[in-house]
Amino acid sequence: MELHPYYPIGIDIPGYKPNDRPLVVILGYFSIGVAAVLAGAFAVARYLRPSISCGDLFIVLWFALSAALHCGFEGYLITHLAQIPGAQDVLSQLWKEYSKSDSRYLTADAFVTSIETVTVVVWGPLCFLVAYLTIVDHPLRHPLQIIASVAHLYGATLYYATSFFDQYVHGVPHGRPEPLYYWVYFILMNLPWVIVPAFLIRQSLTAISGAIRTVNHINAQKKSR
């Protein structure tokens, strides 16, 4: 059986083969993919709505990137779960690298597999829709932005919580302790899906409450006439 670098020590990962590409190469491919998604979303947003504000443009880029990661990167995980440990394509190698921070992605863990499946099937397409609605400034943008952001915030919270619970209550760490894997991969790479959704929820609640307040004010004025 091929030795592997994943925690907890001794966990069974059938068919595992170490990556045959250097880390800088696979991260380079990932960076190129992210840049392509952002550039494409930027171009579409500017084409469909030349006057789009910087704030709305950021939100378009955020949801476009989230959608691409959910449907593409995470979708690949769900559809190739059994093959990834021994595969050498770029996406498999990216998952094997990231899994050094959380081996649940290579062991068909019930929680991770379930939440990723919902993310791929439901939240990924919804993110694409919110990105489009933001570009065209559609009234449904804010209600759906709240739904998508709550889903992101809830999913990220559960993701952190279940990992911490297993480690500190059951004594079962899923990730390696080195700073690259713990602080960069596990903490920092997932933290945007806590911070940005919290900001977007506040933004949408403010917009919706402001619109309702305006309508109520107009109705009150009509009744007073």
Tokens 């930027």 -> residue: 42
Residue 126, Cα to own-chain centre: how many angstroms?
A: 12
Residue 1 has pLDDT above 60, yes or no: no
Q: Taking residues 5-17, what's their average pLDDT?
A: 93
**CA–CA dist 61, 192 (Å, integer):** 13
Of the listed ranges 5-14, 52-61, 137-146, 210-219, the one predicted with least confidence:
210-219
What single letter denotes the amino acid at residue 38? L
Tokens 């068919």 -> residue: 15
> Are the CB atoms for 117 and 78 separated by under 8 Å?
yes
pLDDT in tens, 120-175: 999 999 999 999 999 999 999 999 999 999 999 999 999 999 999 999 999 999 99
Q: Taking residues 96-114, what's their average pLDDT?
A: 96
pLDDT in tens, 171-196: 999 999 999 999 999 999 999 999 99
Crossing angle of the two packed helices 54-68 and 124-135, in degrees rounded to 10: 160
Cβ-based burial of 12 (10 A; exposed 0-12, middle 13-18, buried ≥19): exposed
DSSP 102: -
Hey, what are 7's tokens? 């925690």
Indicate the domain borders of the chain.
Answer: 23-224
Hey, what are 160's tokens? 């952190």
**CA–CA dist 112, 207 (Å, integer):** 34
Hey, what are 183's tokens? 């602080």
What percent of the chain has a predicted confidence (pLDDT) above 70? 99
